């Protein structure tokens, strides 16, 4: 049912696209695989032991897309999005996956060793007096830039 996309190192992730209706055409499955593969490669988490499952279901005029990413040794990442068009939902899911992988990677680096934890604690103490005013936070939220600022 699924097929794999080879990256340059020759370690393909496994991808399965599924829907109970015909909303997930072969073209859209290829598009989803390519789109969802990019953030995984960008974070250097790709490999033949990585599994991505995308499930699309029609719900009235909307399409619900649920993407599950299984990376050995990491928490399973599940992102869900709803949009009128499956290709738009795939784009949204890829963006959410990017943020989830960044968050997962940041969490992992803090947990890996005592040196990293000490560095993270120091960084938090150093930034204690750094905060956004409510006005700044609201402006950034309206610009959809708040996540970018907080992830730094």
Residue with tokens 């963006």: 95
* Packed helices 86-111 and 26-42: angle between N→C axes, nearest 10 degrees: 20
pLDDT digits (tens, 9 = 90+) for 30-51: 999 999 999 999 998 888 899 9
Task: Indicate the burial class of 124 (C-beta count within 10 angstroms; 0-12, 13-18, 19 or more).
Answer: exposed
**Following CA atoms 3, 89, 47, 114 in sequence, which dihedral angle do they give, to the nearest 10 degrees?**
-160
pLDDT digits (tens, 9 = 90+) for 115-150: 444 343 343 333 444 455 566 666 666 666 555 555
pLDDT digits (tens, 9 = 90+) for 1-10: 444 444 344 5
CATH class of the 3-112 domain in this structure: alpha beta
Residues carrying CATH 3.30.160.100, the chain? 3-112
Tokens describing residue 71:
């990376």
pTM, 2 dp: 0.65
Tokens describing residue 91:
């784009």
């Amino acid at each position: 049912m699924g097929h794999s996309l080879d990256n340059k190192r020759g370690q393909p992730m496994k991808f399965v696209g599924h829907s109970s209706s015909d909303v997930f055409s072969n073209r859209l499955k290829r598009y989803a695989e390519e789109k969802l593969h990019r953030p995984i490669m960008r974070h250097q988490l790709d490999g033949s032991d990585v599994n991505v499952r995308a499930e699309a279901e029609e719900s009235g005029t909307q399409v619900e897309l649920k993407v599950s990413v299984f990376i050995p040794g990491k928490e399973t990442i599940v992102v869900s999005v709803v949009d009128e068009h499956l290709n738009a939902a795939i784009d949204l899911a890829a963006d959410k996956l990017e943020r989830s992988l960044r968050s997962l990677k940041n969490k992992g680096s803090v947990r890996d060793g005592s040196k990293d934890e000490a560095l993270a604690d120091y960084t938090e103490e150093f930034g204690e007096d750094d905060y956004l005013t409510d006005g700044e936070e609201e402006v950034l939220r309206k610009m959809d830039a708040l996540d970018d600022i907080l992830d730094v």
